[in-house]
């Protein structure tokens, strides 16, 4: 598998570390359903999935990657820091 880093270009999978589904962190200080969802529940879609990948042995950027879980096709990747735009 290969991923395109917006800074480094297309690179081999071994440079990256998976960092989980791209979810919005609840921020609240007390435990509730929002935190339960954020930490434990995943949609596991058959199709498009948005996920974070860190270019860990590359440039250290965290990427927001859109990927089709059925075909493994990478539909897009952007810097997470830029809001994933």
Partner 1 sequence: MRLSTGGQIDRSRPLDFSFDGVTYSGYHGDTLASALMANGLKVVGRSFKYHRPRGIFSAGSEEPNALVTLGAGARAEPNVRATMQELFAGLEARSQNRWPSLDWDVMEVNDLVADFLGAGFYYKTFMWPKAFWEKLYEPVIRRAAGLGALSGQADPDANEKAFAHCDLLVIGAGPAGLMAALQAGEAGVDVILCDEDRTPGGSLLSSTEDVDGMAAPDWATEAVARLAAMPNVRIMTRTTVTGVYDGGTYGALERVGRHLQHRPGPLPVDCFWRIVAKRAVLAAGALERPVAFQDNDRPGVMLSSAVRAYVNRYAVAPGSSVTVFGNNDDAHRTARDLLAAGVHVAGLIDARHEATTDLDLPFYPGAVVSRVTGRMGLETVSLRTHKGEVKLQSDCLSVSGGWNPSLHLTCHLNGRPVWDEGIASFLPAPEGMPGLIPAGGAAGLFPTWEALESGRAAAARALEEMGQTVPHQKVPEAEGAPYKVKALWHVPGKGRAWLDLANDVTVKDVRGAAAENFRSVEHMKRYTTQGMAPDQGKTSNLSAMAVLGDATGRDVAQTGITTYRPPYVPVPIAAMGAGGKGRGFAPERLTTSHGRSLAMNAPMIEAGLWYRPSYFPRTGEKTWRQSCDREVGMVRQAVGIADVSTLGKIDIQGRDAGAFLDFVYANTFSTLKEGRVRYGLMLREDGHVMDDGTTARLGPQHYLMTTTTAAAGEVMGHLEFAAQVLRPDWDVRLISVTEQWAQFAVAGPQSRALLEDVLGRDLGGDVLPFMGWIPVTIGGVEGRLFRISFSGELAYELAVPARYGESLFTQLVKQAEARGGGAYGMEALNVLRIEKGLLTHAELHGRTTAFDLGLERMMSRKKAFIGQAGASRPGLLAEDRERLVGLRPVGAVQMIPAGAFLFTEGEEAVRENAQGYVTSTAFSPTLGHTVALGFLKSGPDRIGERIRMVDHLRGVVTLCEVCEPCFLDPEGERPRA
Partner 2 sequence: MPELTLIAQNALPQGVVTTLAGTRVEVLPMRRLSALMPGPDAGPLAEALMAQHGLGLPAPGSVEHAEQAECLWFGIGQYLLIGPAPAPDLAEAATLTDQSDAWASVLLEGPRARHVLARLCPLDLRARAFAPGATARTELAHMGASVTRTGPDGFRVMVFRSMAETLLHELRAALEAVAARGMV
- Sign for the CA dihedral angle at 62, 65, 69, 74 comes to negative
Contacts of residue 33, defined as CB under 8 A and 6 or more positions apart, other chains included, come to: none
Q: Which of 1, 9, 33, 43 binds partner 1 (CB under 8 A)?
A: 1
Task: Give the integer Cα–Cα distance in Å for 15 and 32.
Answer: 36
Q: Which is nearer to partner 2, 38 or 52 (CB)?
A: 52
Q: Which of 15, 21, 26, 66 binds partner 1 (CB under 8 A)?
A: 26
The option from partner 2, partner 1, none interacting with 23 (CB < 5 to 8 A, set by class) reads none
72: left (phi over 0), alpha (psi -120 to 50) or beta: left
In the window 4-23, what residues touch partner 1 (CB under 8 A)? 10, 12-13, 17, 19
Residues within the interface to partner 2 (CB under 8 A): 7-12, 14-15, 55-61, 79, 81
């Amino acid at each position: 598998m290969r991923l395109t880093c917006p800074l480094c270009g297309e690179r081999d999978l071994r440079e990256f570390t998976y960092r989980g589904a791209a979810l919005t962190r609840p921020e609240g200080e007390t435990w509730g359903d929002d935190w339960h969802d954020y930490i434990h529940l995943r949609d596991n879609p058959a199709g498009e999935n948005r996920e974070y990948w860190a270019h860990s042995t590359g440039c250290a950027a965290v990427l927001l990657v859109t990927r089709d879980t059925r075909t493994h096709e990478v539909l897009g990747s952007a810097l997470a820091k830029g809001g994933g735009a």
